[in-house]
Structure 1
C-alpha cells in the first residue's frame, strides 16, 4: 500500500474552530511520522465542516497557487485547492505511462478522495513564454482543499511523508493560520477592455481556411479543426477566480476549471465536453461536435434545433468524432454502448450535437492508456489525425498550450477529464481566449469565423457586464 489516510472523522466542525482542530493534529506529526509510514506516502486529513461556497473560499485566499474544478451540472463534485503537497510536472512532451505511474504509486484504494488535479498541453513542450509555468503537463495534490461531494463540505489537508519535519510543519502551520474562512467575499467587477487582437485576424483566417484546400478547391482532409486566439487587453490586472465566478454564473451545464500558477497567471474555462470519466473499470465518454446558436424566441429556437439536427455539414462533422471514439474504445473495452443517434445539448449562447458512450474496460487498462487513445479527438484536431495535427501546427499562428488538451483529476478509483475548450489564459492584464471550428467539406470561412465568435461569447458577455 502506497498511501493512507491518517485521520478522518464524521464530526461536523464550525468554521471558527476547524483551523485550531487541524493545527493540533499537524503539530503532532514530527513525533508520529517514524511509526506511521514511508516517504512515498501522502497523508490526508479530512474534516467535515459547515457549508461554505467553494469559490468564495478560494477567492478569499491570498496565495499564488490555486486550483478549482467542478463537474458538469448541479450537485456534482467541486473542489478549491491552495498550495502544493505534491506535484508531477514536466516541460517536455508527456510520457503517459511514466507520468501516470508516478501518480498511481501514491494513490491507493483506502484513500479514494486523494487526487491529482491538472492537465496536459495539446502539443507537449510549451513554445510560447506565456505557457512556461504550465509546462507540457502539471498535476498537483493541493496542500489544503475545500471540497463538496453530495451534500457534505470537507476541509482536507495533504502532506507527503518526506516533508514532515519541524521546520516544514512550522511553515505549514503559518499557511493554515492565514486561511480565511469568511462566508462571504466581494468579487471585483470585470475590468474594462482597452484593446482586442485576433490571431489570425479576418484576412489571416481566410488565408488559413484556403490552406485546407488543394488544387481545384478540393478539401484536403476529412475534417480539420482550426482555432483562433483572441487577446484582450484590460485597464487593470485580471483576478482569475473572480473571472471564473462570473463565467460560471453564465455556463451552468459545463465543467469549470482554473489552474492558477501565480496571482495573475492562470488557465481557466467552461467546457461542455467530457473527454472521459472512469469509475473503477467503467468508463463514460462522449462525442461533442456540430454547433449552432440559440434562438431569441421560441420559434427561432425550434427552427435552429431543426437546422442543427438536419444539417449535413454538422452531421458529417459529428460522425467523424463518433467513429474515432468508437474505434479508440474498441482497443480498451469489451463492449461499447452508444446512443443510437445524436442528441442536442443546450448551453448559454449555443447548442451542440452529442453522442454518449459507456463501457467496461479490459483488465489491466488504466488511465494512461485511456487518455493516450482518446486525446486528441477529431472534435479538437481532425481526421486523419496525424495529417490534421501536422497541418494545425503549420497553419495556426500561435501555440495552443493547454487549450484543447485534457484537464481534470486522477484518483485511484475515479478519474475524470474534460477537453479544455472555451478556455482562456490569464497573464496579468491580458486575456487570451481560445476557440476552434471544425472544418469539413461544405464549410465556409465566414461561417466558421462566426461559430468561433459564438463560442467565446460567454467570456465577452462577462466583460460587458455593467
Structure 2
C-alpha cells in the first residue's frame, strides 16, 4: 500500500514540475487533485517534520483534512476582522471550478481582549492548505492549492509544495508513548474556585447575570515525549461522535475532541444546538439509565440548557427565513459524562454569511453565559488565566459548506507541560463543590488515556497533586452538577 501512495505522490511531483514551465494561469487559485488509498491521517501527520501542520475532522466522520504547508493564511486581531478575512476566503475559493470542493481551516479565540489571547496563536487565523489529504465517504484525495496572483508567488508555491513532498516520511504509525506526568496545579485552585462561584451567585442576585460559565486550566508536568496526534486519536476513539482539531502556534500545539457544534452550514441550511447540563455516566446500564433520568428531570440543568437554547434562537431568528428547535431536550452520551441537548435547524435569509453567524453565536451561553456581554466581562475580570483558544472556534469555512465546532474538551501542549481545559455553567442554584467535580469529570477521559499511555514507573501512579490529591475518573465525584 505504501508503494501505491508513494507512486501517487511521485505523479503529483510530475504534474507540479510541468506547471513550472507553463504560463501562469489567469485565476488566482489553481487546485490539482489525485486519488489516494486510505491513509491514517493522524499517523501520517505525526511522521512529518513540517512547521505548518493542521488537522480537522467533522463530528460525523464525513470529512477530515490533514494539512501540510499553507498556501494562504491570514491572521485576525479581533472579531471585527471576520468580515474582511472571510470575504477574502470566498473570493479566493470562487476561483476554483464549481465542481471543486475546497475549504479553509480556521480557529478563533474565546474572546479578543488582549489578556484573553495566547500570543503563540493570536486571536484567530484562517488557513488554505498548500498540500492536503482530504478524506470523505467517497475516499481519499491528495490536493495541492497553488496561489497564482503573480508569477513569483505561483512558482514559489509550486516549489514549496515540491519541497514538502520531497521531505515526506510515508510512515502512518502513531508514535509510541514515552512519558510520565504529574499534576502541577490548577488555575484557579479549589479555594479560588469556591470564591469565584460565590461571587457569581452574588451577581445573580442583582439580576445582572443569569448564567456565567467559569473554567479551569489543569497543568500537567511532563517528562519524556508525548505525541499530540497519538493522544488526539485515542481521544476520538473514546468519544467517537466528536469533532477533532489540531493547530500549531509558535512552539505550541492546541488540539481537542469536542462533542459540541457551534453551527454547520450547507448552502443556506444551518444546524446548531444547545448543549448544556451535565451528569456523569453510570458504572452499569441500570445506573446509567437512572442518571440519565435524573439529568432529564433536573430543574437546575434544564434551566441552564434553556438559557442557551433561548439565546441561540433569539440571535438566529433575524438571520433566518425559518427556524425550529426540538420540542424537548435529549441526551448526548460521552465516555464519562452525558449532556442535555436541543438541536436547532434553520434556513438562512438570502446573503447571510458565515461571519454573521459567528458574530451572533460565538461565544454561546454554553461556554460564556447570559447575557453575553455581562458574562464575558465577569470572566475577563475574574478568571485568573487566559482562555485563548479554549471555548473558541475550530472549523472549516468554504463557499458551499462551512462547519464550526466549539473548542471544548481541549488541551495545549507547551514544551514539557500539557494544559487541560474544562468549564462549568454557573447559575443561581450552583454549588461550588459540585461544579468543581464537573470540571474533573470533563477531563476524566483524557486523563484515563494519558494514564494508559504513560511509561510505568515501578507500578507507582504518576498523577499526583498537592497534599496527595489524586485526580482520575474513578474519584468519587458528585453525580449531578
Q: Same fold (TM over 0.5)?
A: yes
1:363 is paired with a residue whose SS is: coil
Q: Is the 8 A contact 2:67 2:131 kept in 1?
A: yes
Shift of 1:168: 5.2
CA distance in 1 between partners of 2:316 and 2:36 (Å): 40
Q: Is the 8 A contact 1:85 1:141 kept in 2?
A: yes
Select which of 78, 87, 94 maps to 1:101.
87
Select which of 152, 161, 173 maps to 1:185.
173
CA distance in 2 between partners of 1:215 and 1:325 (Å): 23
Select which of 405, 418, 430 maps to 1:431.
418
Select which of 267, 271, 276 maps to 1:284.
271
Select which of 352, 373, 388 maps to 1:401.
388
CA distance in 2 between partners of 1:126 and 1:456 (Å): 27
Q: Is the 8 A contact 1:265 1:427 kept in 2?
A: yes
Match of 2:249 in 1: 261
1:252 aligns with 2:240: yes
Q: Deviations over 1:297-349 (max 9, x none)?
A: 12211110111000000000000001011111101101111111000011111
CA distance in 2 between partners of 1:168 and 1:343 (Å): 48
Gaps of 5+ in 2: 454-481
CA distance in 2 between partners of 1:111 and 1:31 (Å): 26
Matches within 5 A, 1:134-149: 134-149=121-136
Matches within 5 A, 1:364-379: 364-379=351-366
Q: Judge which range, 15-24 or 412-421, deviates more.
A: 15-24
Q: Judge which range, 42-51 or 117-126, deviates more.
A: 117-126
Change (3 A) 1:52 1:269: same
Q: Judge which range, 216-225 or 238-247, deviates more.
A: 216-225
Gaps of 5+ in 1: 1-12
Select which of 50, 54, 59 maps to 1:72.
59
Q: Deviations over 1:36-70 (max 9, x none)?
A: 214xx221111111111211211221112211111
Select which of 164, 169, 173 maps to 2:158.
169
1:32 aligns with 2:22: yes
CA distance in 1 between partners of 2:113 and 2:14 (Å): 43
CA distance in 2 between partners of 1:165 and 1:286 (Å): 42
Shift of 1:172: 3.0
Q: Judge which range, 421-430 or 275-284, deviates more.
A: 421-430
2:262 is paired with a residue whose SS is: strand
CA distance in 2 between partners of 1:317 and 1:461 (Å): 28
Match of 1:445 in 2: 432
Match of 1:6 in 2: none
Q: Is the 8 A contact 1:70 1:78 kept in 2?
A: yes
1:14 aligns with 2:34: no
Change (3 A) 1:27 1:351: same
Shift of 1:236: 2.5
CA distance in 2 between partners of 1:426 and 1:214 (Å): 36
CA distance in 2 between partners of 1:215 and 1:89 (Å): 36
Shift of 1:165: 5.2
1:28 is paired with a residue whose SS is: helix
Q: Is the 8 A contact 1:91 1:125 kept in 2?
A: no
Shift of 1:125: 5.0
CA RMSD of aligned residues (A): 2.0
Matches within 5 A, 1:352-391: 352-391=339-378
1:89 aligns with 2:78: no
Shift of 1:191: 2.2
Match of 1:8 in 2: none
1:347 aligns with 2:334: yes
Q: Is the 8 A contact 1:81 1:142 kept in 2?
A: yes
Shift of 1:220: 5.3
Q: Is the 8 A contact 1:238 1:426 kept in 2?
A: no
Runs (4 or more) in structure 1 with deviation over 4 Å come to 163-168, 215-220
Shift of 1:270: 0.8
CA distance in 1 between partners of 2:163 and 2:394 (Å): 31
CA distance in 2 between partners of 1:110 and 1:186 (Å): 36
Q: Is the 8 A contact 1:240 1:260 kept in 2?
A: no
Q: Is the 8 A contact 1:33 1:164 kept in 2?
A: no
CA distance in 1 between partners of 2:230 and 2:448 (Å): 14
Change (3 A) 1:150 1:69: same
1:248 is paired with a residue whose SS is: helix
Q: Is the 8 A contact 1:287 1:321 kept in 2?
A: yes
CA distance in 1 between partners of 2:438 and 2:99 (Å): 44
1:307 is paired with a residue whose SS is: helix
CA distance in 1 between partners of 2:36 and 2:9 (Å): 11
CA distance in 1 between partners of 2:420 and 2:214 (Å): 14
Q: TM-score when scaled to structure 2?
A: 0.89
Shift of 1:219: 7.2
Q: TM-score when scaled to structure 1?
A: 0.91
Q: How many residues align?
A: 447
